[in-house]
């Protein structure tokens, strides 16, 4: 009898190390055979669905820069009011991140993502049909709430469907595919607005969001076990999934928060993320197209085409830096500091030229800024994830992710105020107005670099021993 029990125990641990899945396609668990190929294939369906939804979230994020002049004209508003309206997305996005993280750990990512995507749909329709700036701000706020329930649940899904050593690379690819939405919010959205008008464009985006909410509910599953498959990270000498297995079932919300807030490196990573992400998103999402049109005399289409270089760089940088962090023996902190330094050097160029560098230099600067932005974001997420056990992934991400968006919410109206201190000349703002914003961006990114320097090695900074 004891031999039977021992044999059964060994059978239960038959799922092999995932690295060998390319050679062994069927494994046994609890006396049943499972096809690793089907499991590994299904997780890409999940990835595609989540990437499309995140694509829409990123499209909303910087869409005001394309229609900024339309909003000023239709609603008779100024830069400060426009900044407040645009920032409503980021205030609400930031506000829902902690509860979204907790709900991802309790309700599950499938329920959270479906519900919040439906809210984003409603917000987009309200924004498109808004009769005045107040209703437009309400719609923008609902969009922020809705798309706030996408990124953190997606990372929770990835932590269950992909191996630990794949996480940085997968996060980078996810950021790249999702942030193609930033790319779509430049020249493609410009053409869509020219064709349909800005109002019907957002109604159409809302309809697509509703469709994706339905697809999400039908396809998404929180973990392989929900499909009857074994965990993607099976037991290796009885040690794999140890952190998940030690999840204290009686741990309260306050207990979870205390663990996260008790990590000094959490505050350093989050602080750096706050100073870096906000100004970058604010400038890209609100002032880039007006800056190019007012200062460099580009047409809307030309400005939209140049704006595309930032998200193109982001799409390249996210997976590139993630794969470097996963495969090369460099600390994540070292790679992040390098990316921040290069990005800061790009913004320095705007200072001695008083905000107007040569036209031929604008494109390369935007591209490099985008590459560093995408790479930095994937590293921030990975460093934070590695600070905590798997059962705290959603909570930790939900507490850090608001930082950049709260920063954006503060920076957008602040930058609008800086510009209004100079004032408009006709329908355009002069170079001096934009120069104030550019200086503020430079100072904030410098603070981001200083914030990450004290982070201690071995706590989320990515030591030479890979997870």
Stronger pLDDT, 49 or 316, i.e. the higher one: 49
CA distances from 313 to 5, 176, 262, 318, 347 (A): 56, 9, 35, 9, 15
Question: CA 179, CA 147: separation in Å to the nearest integer?
Answer: 13
Mean per-residue pLDDT over the chain, rounded: 81
pTM: 0.68
For residue 415, pLDDT beyond 70: yes
Question: CA 465, CA 164: separation in Å to the nearest integer?
Answer: 13
For residue 62, pLDDT beyond 80: no
Q: What pLDDT score does 236 carry?
A: 35
Q: State the average pLDDT over residues 280-304.
A: 85
Q: What pLDDT score does 235 carry?
A: 40
Residue 199: partners with Cβ closer than 8 Å, 6 or more residues away: 128, 129
* DSSP state, residue 329: S
Number of Cα atoms under 13 Å in the Cβ half of residue 6: 3
Q: What pLDDT score does 34 carry?
A: 52
- Lookup: tokens for 116: 């919040």
Lowest mean pLDDT among 207-211, 242-246, 394-398, 450-454: 242-246
Q: What pLDDT score does 423 carry?
A: 81
Q: What pLDDT score does 328 carry?
A: 66
For residue 306, pLDDT beyond 80: yes
Give the closest residue to 65 by CA, choosing from 207, 183, 149: 183
Q: What pLDDT score does 215 carry?
A: 94
Given the structure tokens 């193609």, which residue do they identify? Answer: 180
For residue 121, pLDDT beyond 90: yes
Q: What pLDDT score does 44 carry?
A: 86
CA distances from 5 to 11, 29, 129, 464 (A): 10, 15, 66, 40
* DSSP state, residue 26: E
Residue 33 forms beta bridges with which residues? 28
Distance, C-alpha 51 to centroid of its chain: 11
For residue 239, pLDDT beyond 60: no
Stronger pLDDT, 120 or 230, i.e. the higher one: 120
Q: What pLDDT score does 245 carry?
A: 45
Give the closest residue to 16 by CA, choosing from 6, 4, 28, 5: 28
Distance, C-alpha 275 to centroid of its chain: 15
Residue 67 — very low, low, confident or very high, per pLDDT cuts 50/70/90? confident
For residue 21, pLDDT beyond 50: no
For residue 144, pLDDT beyond 50: yes
- Lookup: tokens for 295: 């200062």
Sort 357 into a burial class: Cβ within 10 Å, 0-12 / 13-18 / 19+: middle
- Lookup: tokens for 193: 């607005």
For residue 332, pLDDT beyond 90: no
Question: CA 119, CA 116: separation in Å to the nearest integer?
Answer: 5
Q: State the average pLDDT over residues 310-315.
A: 83
Q: To which H or E segment does residue 34 belong?
A: strand 32-35
Q: State the average pLDDT over residues 1-23.
A: 43
* DSSP state, residue 428: B
Stronger pLDDT, 168 or 267, i.e. the higher one: 267
Walk me through the domains of the chain, giving residue ranges and CATH numbers: 44-223+250-452 (1.20.1250.20)
Residue 137 — very low, low, confident or very high, per pLDDT cuts 50/70/90? very high
Q: What is the pLDDT of residues 165-195, one digit of tens each?
A: 777 778 878 888 777 887 787 778 888 988 9
Q: State the average pLDDT over residues 306-333.
A: 79
Give the closest residue to 124 by CA, choosing from 6, 15, 2, 211: 211
Question: CA 115, CA 121: separation in Å to the nearest integer?
Answer: 10
Q: State the average pLDDT over residues 238-249.
A: 44
Lowest mean pLDDT among 17-31, 194-208, 413-427: 17-31
Q: What pLDDT score does 463 carry?
A: 42
Question: CA 442, CA 218: separation in Å to the nearest integer?
Answer: 45
Stronger pLDDT, 283 or 459, i.e. the higher one: 283
For residue 238, pLDDT beyond 70: no
Question: CA 393, CA 388: separation in Å to the nearest integer?
Answer: 7
Residue 345 — very low, low, confident or very high, per pLDDT cuts 50/70/90? very high
Question: CA 121, CA 204: separation in Å to the nearest integer?
Answer: 9
CA distances from 452 to 153, 198, 333, 335, 449 (A): 26, 40, 8, 12, 6
CA distances from 258 to 252, 254, 395 (A): 10, 6, 11
Q: What is the pLDDT of residues 366-398, one digit of tens each?
A: 999 989 988 888 788 888 878 887 777 778 888
Stronger pLDDT, 66 or 292, i.e. the higher one: 292
Q: What is the pLDDT of residues 194-228, one digit of tens each?
A: 899 899 999 999 999 999 999 999 999 888 888 77
Give the closest residue to 125 by CA, choosing from 113, 138, 139, 115: 139
Q: State the average pLDDT over residues 4-31.
A: 44
Q: What pLDDT score does 251 carry?
A: 66
């Amino acid at each position: 009898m004891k031999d039977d029990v021992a044999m059964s125990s060994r059978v239960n641990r038959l799922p092999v190390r995932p690295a060998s899945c390319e050679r062994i396609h069927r494994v046994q668990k609890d006396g049943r055979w499972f096809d690793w190929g089907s499991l590994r294939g299904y997780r890409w369906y999940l990835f595609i669905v989540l990437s499309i939804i995140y694509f829409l979230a990123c499209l909303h994020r910087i869409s005001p820069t394309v229609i900024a002049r339309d909003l000023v004209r239709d609603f008779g508003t100024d830069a400060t009011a426009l900044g407040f309206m645009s920032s409503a997305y980021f205030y609400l996005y930031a506000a829902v991140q902690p509860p979204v993280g907790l709900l991802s750990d309790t309700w599950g990512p499938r329920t959270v993502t479906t519900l919040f995507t439906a809210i984003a749909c409603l917000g987009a329709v309200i924004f498109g049909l808004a009769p005045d700036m107040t209703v437009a701000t309400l719609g923008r706020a609902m969009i922020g709430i809705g798309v706030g329930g996408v990124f953190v649940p997606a990372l929770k899904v990835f932590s269950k469907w992909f191996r630990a050593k794949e996480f940085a690379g997968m996060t980078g690819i996810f950021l790249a595919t999702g942030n193609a939405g930033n790319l779509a919010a430049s020249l493609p959205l410009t053409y869509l607005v020219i064709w349909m008008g800005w109002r019907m464009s957002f109604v159409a985006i809302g309809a697509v969001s509703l469709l994706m909410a339905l697809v999400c509910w039908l396809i998404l599953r929180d973990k392989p076990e929900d499909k009857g498959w074994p965990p993607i990270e099976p037991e290796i000498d009885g040690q794999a999934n140890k952190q998940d297995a030690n999840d204290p079932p009686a741990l309260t919300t306050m207990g979870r928060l205390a663990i996260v807030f008790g990590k000094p490196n959490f505050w350093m990573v989050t602080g750096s993320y706050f100073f870096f992400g906000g100004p970058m998103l604010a400038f890209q999402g609100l002032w880039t197209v007006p800056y190019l049109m007012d200062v460099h005399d580009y047409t809307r289409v030309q400005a939209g085409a140049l704006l595309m270089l930032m998200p193109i760089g982001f799409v390249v940088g996210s997976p590139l830096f993630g794969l470097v962090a996963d495969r090369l023996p460099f600390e994540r902190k070292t790679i992040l500091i390098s990316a921040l330094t290069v990005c800061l050097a790009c913004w320095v160029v705007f200072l001695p030229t008083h905000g107007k560098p040569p036209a031929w230099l604008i494109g390369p600067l935007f591209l490099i800024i985008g590459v560093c932005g995408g790479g930095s974001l994937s590293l921030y997420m990975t460093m934070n994830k590695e600070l905590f056990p798997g059962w705290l992934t959603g909570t930790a991400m939900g507490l850090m992710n608001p930082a950049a968006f709260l920063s954006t919410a503060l920076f957008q109206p602040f930058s609008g105020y800086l510009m209004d201190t100079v004032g408009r000349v006709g329908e355009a703002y002069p170079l001096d107005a934009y120069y104030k914003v550019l200086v503020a961006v430079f100072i904030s990114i410098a603070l981001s670099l200083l914030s990450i320097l004290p982070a201690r090695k071995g706590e989320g900074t990515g030591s030479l021993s890979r997870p």
